[in-house]
Homo-oligomer: A and B are copies of this chain.
């Protein structure tokens, strides 16, 4: 067979050659803008040319601080296709972490949304490697800024060569992208994505048995493009000629519902908090969601109640999946097997509430205290994965590499696997509660609580206990309509039939909000501290 490499230029060239009429619909400060792939492909070539002219060379890192829009999409291809490395920066990191990762990655050029310029101005003095700032703006002129040297994205494109040719000698193992995990402790850790990894991951997203991204789709990645490449959706979508809807900055649930309705979105992707917000909007408003074939949900476990609300109440198919920054991200996805389609909805819901089965192309194992666990849906173990779109190390950060052992990535996620191979995330290894030598899953308790009609969100954390080492305490945010009307006792009565007595939380605390990480996951560390204070107060 030919030794043609799995590199990214083929992806955008396919859109350019075969789907020039298809569209990218981008919400910017000027409202909805529409571009054909012909235009996007041309602008991408121009951006690649501009970057070369600014001195970007093979292997140089180019950072982006940007929302989900067409310019960010252009950067997604112009940077790696020209041989440089796309470094998407999480805009929700602290200024300290932002400057840390820009210096650590050694970004040479930064592409910044105009509204995010203040984020960089704040840390500009600390940046050691950046030689040029490009501002992505809808305005004709640059905003006032202390950044220097600074360029206007559109003006650069005006002067650029539309006939720029991507190099044809890229190595498939060369770096194409990188993303830092939003660590809850220590400095963020960088993951480098290769061309090969991105091509294969995109192919996996196109499989009928996974997300089946297709030319016929109208895909809206709500998950930010600074979060694991928006789960790889933009790469796959461009390759397959899929219509893309980019929701832009500062969207609301209302805006998402409107975009889905107006643009006839068929597949959208995001974290559970986004979908909780959308559900609320759908419950209150009157929207036509009939175009949706899949709401893809990952980043954290989707509560059963949410899944059934989407599917049963609103008729919207829900697709639960699991992955992480280190895994590009897709690892498992809850597409049911043919014979499972014949189960009752309740039984199907039990499966859909799991994260699903391994996608083709990867290998996995679940390692418990005594080797691989039984496939009984009960025994817990840490999920380990390997495959061509799984990271093999953290970028220049050897001391954190203990996650990578014997050729496997140990995910730090505790899971069960059932007879059918469905994986269920039980907890983070760090978040498991060890009571009297036995494990209690905080996620199981949370999901049970969130299935209660009065509960908007619930998080369960461990508190130290003299006799049992640790005990669970639940923190609950009630829905507006139930605030002040739902008592602790009601929730206890609700939980009791579902769990062993010793699993029941020692306390249920009502909060106004659960603290979250920059990507919408529960910030358990902070929550534990809050709970600790509340309990201390009570004791006093």
Contact = CB atoms under 8 A, between A and B. Distances in A.
Interface of A: 1-4, 6, 10-11, 13-14, 17-19, 21-22, 173, 192-194, 196-197, 200, 203-204, 206-209, 212-216, 239-241, 243, 328, 335, 337-339, 357-358, 360-361, 363, 386-392, 407, 409, 420-421
B18 A239 contact: no
Contacts of A206: 206-209, 360
Contacts of A3: 173, 388, 392
A360 B392 contact: no
Contacts of A392: 1-3
Contact of A214 (B6, B209, B386, B409): B209
Identical copies in the complex: 2
A82 to B, nearest CB: 18
A339 B264 CA distance: 14
B215 A18 contact: no
B17 A388 contact: no
Contacts of A11: 360
B1 A407 contact: no
Contact of A387 (B2, B19, B196, B339): B2
Contacts of A388: 1-4, 6
Contacts of A203: 200, 203-204, 207, 360-361
Nearest to A392: B2
A337 B387 contact: no
Nearest to A1: B197
B215 A212 contact: no
B386 A337 contact: no
Contacts of A6: 388
5 contacts: A2-B409, A3-B173, A3-B388, A18-B420, A239-B360
A240 B360 contact: yes
A391 B207 contact: no
Nearest to A5: B388
A10 B363 contact: yes
Greatest chain B CB density within 10 A among A192, A193, A392 is at A392
Contacts of A21: 339
Contacts of A209: 206, 214-216, 240
A4 B386 contact: yes
A388 B10 CA distance: 12
A337 B208 contact: no
B18 A357 contact: yes
Contacts of A1: 173, 192-194, 196-197, 328, 388-392
Contact of A208 (B173, B207, B339): B207
B216 A338 contact: yes
**Which 6 residue pairs spanning A and B have beta carbons closest together?**
A208-B214, A1-B197, A208-B212, A18-B421, A206-B207, A1-B194
